[in-house]
Amino acid sequence: MAMTIHVDIVSAEASIYSGLAEYLVAPAEMGEVGVYPRHTPLLTRLKPGSVRIKSPDKAEEELIYVSGGILEVQPGVVTILSDTAVRGADLDEARALEAKRQAEEAMKNRTSLMDYAYAEAELAEAVAQLAAIQKLRKTRG
């Protein structure tokens, strides 16, 4: 049996994932970070993107979209706290495309620096959701 680590992914609304994993890959601010059992303790911020989890009982990785947040690695347990976390299969491509369009429009018609920063963050989130949907399609064939 493969070594495992316990993973908890929690959003503001609910616990999205809780279980054992052989490894996980998360979108840290400075690039993707892979976490395997017995990883050294770590605390880092996450950017919007896909968390990939390899469960010991499944052949394929599970994708979970996070809007950013915090990744904490402790001996035997990994915790991800995110404002928004959605299972890859539950992502809505039409809604993500509309959010992307609205953010791009808001960036064109900005009235203040704060509006532009907010629109930029919304655009990054929508693009990350679309990328997660594309990854999910590739893994499913």
**More reliable by pLDDT, 61 or 104:** 61
Identify whether residues 58 and 124 lie together within a single domain. Answer: no
**More reliable by pLDDT, 21 or 94:** 21
Which DSSP string corresponds to 32-87? EEEE-TTPPPEEEEE-SEEEEEE-TT-SSPEEEEE-SEEEEEETTEEEEE-S-EEE
Question: According to the model, what pLDDT value does residue 141 have?
Answer: 58
Residues in the chain: 141
Please say which residue of 48, 67, 88 terminates a domain.
88
Please count the other Cβ atoms lying within 10 Å of the Cβ belonging to residue 62: 21
Identify whether residues 118 and 82 lie together within a single domain. Answer: no
CA dihedral 60, 54, 46, 49 (to 10 degrees): 0
Identify whether residues 15 and 73 lie together within a single domain. Answer: yes
**More reliable by pLDDT, 28 or 116:** 28
Entry pTM? 0.71
